Amino acid sequence: MTFLLTLASALAGFAALAASMKKYSGDWIAARQRMAMRLAGWTLLVSGLGYAMAVQSSAVGIVLWFATATVAILPIALLLGFRKARRRK
């Protein structure tokens, strides 16, 4: 259960960080919303780390968080890469 909650937090956090970048969102997000998305993304990532450390011991929680962050960033990076390659065609 800890893995799933930490994974969901990391997925949402990385998605919010990617959406806050002008490179990926374009002009459809205002600057104020972009800053709010960036803050939400970092908050989700840090809260996932805090949750993993609270449920497990500190050392195991950090390792668990890095593992889930790695698993969470893969689909986001692949989707953004394929989306960029698709735009070039």
pLDDT at position 51 is 96
d(CA 45, CA 1): 17
Q: Are 65 and 6 in contact (CB under 8 A)?
A: yes
pLDDT in tens, 5-38: 999 999 999 999 988 887 776 667 777 888 999 9
pLDDT at position 62 is 96
pLDDT at position 74 is 94
pLDDT at position 65 is 95
- Which has more confidence, 32 or 89? 32
The tally of domains found in the chain comes to 1
Domain residues for the domain of 68 are: 2-88
What's this model's pTM, rounded to 2 decimal places? 0.85
Residues 6+ apart with CB under 8 A from 15: 41, 76
pLDDT in tens, 40-72: 999 999 999 999 999 999 999 999 999 999 999
